[in-house]
Amino acid sequence: MDAPREAPQTQHLLDLAFGLSQAGQLGLCGPATPLSVWGPGCSGALLHKTTDASLVPVIVPTLAKARLGVAGMTVAPVAPKAWIRPPGSSDEEYAEDRPGKPCPACGTGHIASPWHILNVCEHAKVAAARAELRENADAFVRRLALLCADAARAGHPLYLLETEAASALVQQAVFDWNSPSGDFLLFRLCLVLPFPASVVPPNERCDDNITWLLGRVFNTVFVRPHAMRFTANAWVRWGGKSYLAIAKVWADAVDDALSSA
């Protein structure tokens, strides 16, 4: 559950997908992979399953850029104004941005990235926004588990029993968001990236670890794409708006730091 490597871009994308494909795990529902599999054409590719037109102009592109790691930190709407390249910038100028830039807001030297914004940046305003986001995430993750259980009713009944059992445990869990498991979960929730339960170390697999429980939910949702549309709309809407909100706080903090330097 480590932070994905931010560069190069290909390595970042491989880390988001855990460096492997689980397309062979078709189980008893041959036409679908489990929701925990994220990749082209897989059930976990929820950005492509949204049917809410209001999400298309800003939310979906923002999440797609966020998944590029540092490569998405110098483009609107997330980038600080001082970091946006003007139209007509040369390839050499864009190449300067590829390794990433240290975060001026907290001054720790950490490379600015979606993971840094969501889990690391120590700037006071960003930390306050993160605390609020964690509270909202604690409520949303429980709703997400219920939405997945509802979607699972369109799949195989054997998997439905497992999904409902894990979803019920999510509702009761008391979770520590200020933990490596919490950092991982917040990042995946905001960027709308499902994951398998196997990413959680064996010693952390318990009924109070929502990351472990939600991974079990994702592992057992085998449904056709149309059955995931409502869940996809809800998750993409929450994740995109949440990421945009904290990213704006961070971008403003960066611009303030650069202007006062």
The pLDDT of residue 16 is 67
Query: Are the C-beta atoms of 57 and 244 separated by less than 8 Å?
Result: no
The pLDDT of residue 7 is 62
Please give the tally of structural domains in the chain. Answer: 1
The domain in which residue 145 lies consists of 9-85+123-260
Is the residue at 91 inside a domain? no
Q: Could you tell me the two tokens for 106?
A: 């907290």
Euclidean distance between the first and the last CA atom of the chain, given in angstroms as a whole number: 36
Is the residue at 117 inside a domain? no
Is the residue at 98 inside a domain? no
The pLDDT of residue 1 is 64
CA–CA separation, 113 vs 4, rounded Å?
10
Is the residue at 214 inside a domain? yes
The pLDDT of residue 14 is 62
In angstroms, what CA-CA distances link 99 with 8, 113, 258? 7, 11, 19
Is the residue at 108 inside a domain? no
Is the residue at 118 inside a domain? no
pLDDT tens digits, the chain, 261 residues: what are they? 667 776 666 666 666 665 543 433 444 444 568 898 877 778 888 998 999 999 999 999 999 999 989 988 988 899 999 999 888 888 888 888 888 999 999 999 999 999 999 999 999 999 999 999 999 999 999 999 999 999 999 877 778 889 999 999 999 999 999 999 999 999 999 999 999 999 999 999 999 999 999 999 999 998 888 889 999 999 999 999 999 999 999 999 999 999 986
Q: What DSSP state is assigned to residue 84?
A: P
The pLDDT of residue 15 is 67
The pLDDT of residue 54 is 94
The pLDDT of residue 17 is 63
Q: How many CB atoms lie within 10 A of CB 222?
A: 26
Query: Are the C-beta atoms of 199 and 18 separated by less than 8 Å?
Result: yes
Is the residue at 102 inside a domain? no
3-state secondary structure of 52: coil
The pLDDT of residue 117 is 97
Q: How many CB atoms lie within 10 A of CB 16?
A: 20
Is the residue at 109 inside a domain? no
